[in-house]
Amino acid sequence: MSEHRRPHIDDSLGLISQGYSWLPGRFRRAGGPSIVHTRLMGLRAVALRGPEAVRFFYDESHVRRHGAIPEPVQGTLFGHGAIHTLDGLDHRNRKIMFLSALKDVREVGRLAELTGQIWDEAAGQWARQPQTVLFDETARVLTRAVCEWAGVPLATEDVADTAADLTALVDGFATLGPRHWRARRARGRCERRLADLIQGVRDGTVPAAADSVLELVARHTGTDGRLLEPKRAAVELLNVIRPTVAVSWFVAFAGHALHRWPQHRERLRAGDRAWAVAVAHELRRFYPFAPFVGGLAARDLTWQGERIPAGAMVLLDIYGQNHDPALWPDPYRFDPGRFLDREPGRDELIPQGGGDPRTGHRCPGEDVTVALLATLLIRLARLDFEVPEQDLDISLRRIPALPRSRVVLRVTGSARSEGASDAVRHATPYR
């Protein structure tokens, strides 16, 4: 009997013990179908993979998000009542706000340029330090940049603590241990501060630039025509800031990749923008970030002849699809060249979800991620640094994965880079 037709035994412990390899292993043992059946957290679950599965999953008549995201994830990563938990008109209304902030190529370019400038300033100090932890320093750079770009005031002395809180939100969503409780405390601090800021903008006691993200979120009205409750608005403002700082994970992976495959560094040092974007895409494909996304079957469904009952959990295997040899020849080889001759297919490369970012649940900040990565890759490649002995192992059991040492560098010198406009132009394939 093939695995996907066996009795469905709860496999939550399998997910905990195997992490990113859990779903790919289930597909491998099932012998090739694009759907596997299991149970997860007591619910019947089906897992899908492949571009057709992406289109099926992101069809709102098939899969709904409301009630699908577990409370531990809402209480850390997304926030209660966030856009990720909405469907239909409410989701599209909230999406308009995010698209206004994140899909203007000029705004993406401004954020990338600002991030590059702050990196250059910070990197000038790293050579004076005995060592630099790439992940931590990048988080501080991105925190300063996105807060300034969004119009959120942030004192210099608060940057390190704010960056630690923002990375904690991402680092603690998939565990019930100390990382999880650290994330919950961080969310409480961030939401309280931003809710007070939103209320201050509305009261006129806090100035906000007319077209800033802060002003946009503070003035956004829901489908009922009312302003979002301050705490709900704070959740969504945080959902602009927090994913930007999460790019720190990919920059740490970039440090890992340039150390492991230094042959890719020279073209970055030369300022090859197309190559920088290709490396950014390959980092997002190759390294583990989101293992899967989930929703609930909106009604009784059929996928490739297999029944999916209403209310069942539907999982889209992100890590497995990004390493599927049917889509990516030699998928466990780090090869940025695979993205030089073609843009990634919308529903093929899905590290931040699939579907149409303008209408669906795909992250509207994906272009921001690519533009920031392309900008910082060139700067990282131009740093003069040594990599001291350390533990660079990346455990697939830890979600989200990260090199154990967070990538420690011994910086001996830095070089400034040119602007990011070309990187931004190359980084917007889904318009």
Residue that is written with structure tokens 């961030």 in the block: 190
pLDDT, average across residues 379-407:
97
Q: Could you tell me the two tokens for 256?
A: 């890992």
Give residue 2's pLDDT band: very low, low, confident or very high (50, 70, 90): very low
pLDDT of amino acid 103? 62
Report the distance separating Cα 231 and Cα 346, nearest Å.
34
Give residue 86's pLDDT band: very low, low, confident or very high (50, 70, 90): confident
From the list 302, 284, 301, the residue with the least C-alpha distance to 348 is: 284
For the cut 50, the answer to whether the pLDDT of residue 431 exceeds it is no
Strand-pairing partners, residue 411, are 385
pLDDT of amino acid 94? 78
Q: Is 102 exposed, middle or buried (0-12, 13-18, 19+ CB in 10 A)?
A: buried
Report the distance separating Cα 367 and Cα 273, nearest Å.
15
264-285 pLDDT, tens digit each:
999 999 999 999 999 999 999 9
Instruction: Give the chain's mean pLDDT.
Output: 89
Give residue 362's pLDDT band: very low, low, confident or very high (50, 70, 90): low
DSSP code of residue 351: B
Domains of the chain listed by start with CATH number: 3-426 (1.10.630.10)
For the cut 80, the answer to whether the pLDDT of residue 141 exceeds it is yes
pLDDT of amino acid 416? 53
Strand-pairing partners, residue 317, are 292
21-46 pLDDT, tens digit each:
999 999 998 886 678 999 988 889 99
One-letter-per-residue 3-state SS of 267-328: HHHCCCHHHHHHHHHHHHHHCCCCCEEEEEECCCEEECCEEECCCCEEEEEHHHHCCCCCCC
Q: What pTM was computed for the model?
A: 0.91
Residue pair 348/51 in contact (Cβ under 8 Å)? The answer is yes
Report the distance separating Cα 394 and Cα 406, nearest Å.
10
